[in-house]
Amino acid sequence: MKITLIGIQGSGKSTQGNLLTKKYNIPYLSTGHIFRELSQEKTATGRYIKEIITAGFLVPDEKTIDIVKEYVGRDAYKNGYILDGFPRTVQQAKSFASEIESAVYIRVSDKEALWRLAMRDNEVRSDETIMAVKKRIELFHFVTEPVLDWYRKQGKLIEVDGEVDVEQVFAQITAALDKKV
């Protein structure tokens, strides 16, 4: 099973990704986590990625595609995976057209996402400043929403209401995924 989770920051992708990992016994891979990890490295790539994500921008397609392909090419992902944060652009989606079986869109309003992020009790990450989050939400609407249409045309899009409780979101996702298998 090769799944991607799509939604604005704060939509619950990582929560659902971790639940799906337990249910389907396939690894969860967050590009946000990968980029935050890389941004801590004292390398040219690390500094480059840190500047981009701190400003709230997206890592360019070519770089993102290369990084994700390298990760999913590892043995741990040969039997499937759950991606979070990729693809974010139509170019990225097309580059992984044969790799993704189901794209799950967790639909949450901008207002709900901002509220959820503000209410997190853990410490704020450097890439979660209010300006960076607003920029990412804006980019989601402009850059990532066309990805939803692309997956819809491919017959791979599953849309769920992300504003209900965690268990209900999970039930919506697993019911749709189990129908496809």
Distance between CA 77 and CA 62 in Å, rounded? 21
Query: What is the distance between the alpha carbons of residues 35 and 30, in angstroms, rounded to a whole number?
Result: 9
* Tens digit of each residue's pLDDT (9 = 90 or more) over 89-137: 999 999 999 899 999 999 999 888 888 777 765 555 555 667 777 877 8
Half-sphere exposure in the Cβ direction for 59 (13 Å, CA): 27
* Token reading at 35: 């980029």
Task: From 25, 23, 37, 31, select the one nearest 6 (Cα to Cα).
Answer: 31
pLDDT of residue 85: 86
Q: H-type helices in 77-139, by residue range?
A: 90-95, 110-119, 130-139
CB 80 within 8 A of CB 28: no
The domain defined by 2-175 carries CATH number 3.40.50.1820: no
Q: What pTM does this model have? A: 0.86
State pLDDT tens for residues 26-48: 999 999 889 988 899 999 989 99
Amino acid (one-letter) located at 127: D
* 128: nearest Cα among 56, 35, 33: 56
For the beta carbon of residue 84, count every other beta carbon within 10 angstroms.
25
> According to the model, what pLDDT value does residue 125 have?
58
Q: Which amino acid is at 106?
A: I
Are 178 and 21 a contacting pair, CB within 8 Å?
A: no
Q: Which residues sit opposite 114 in a β-bridge?
A: none
Q: Cβ contacts of residue 135 below 8 Å, gap of 6+? A: 55, 56, 57
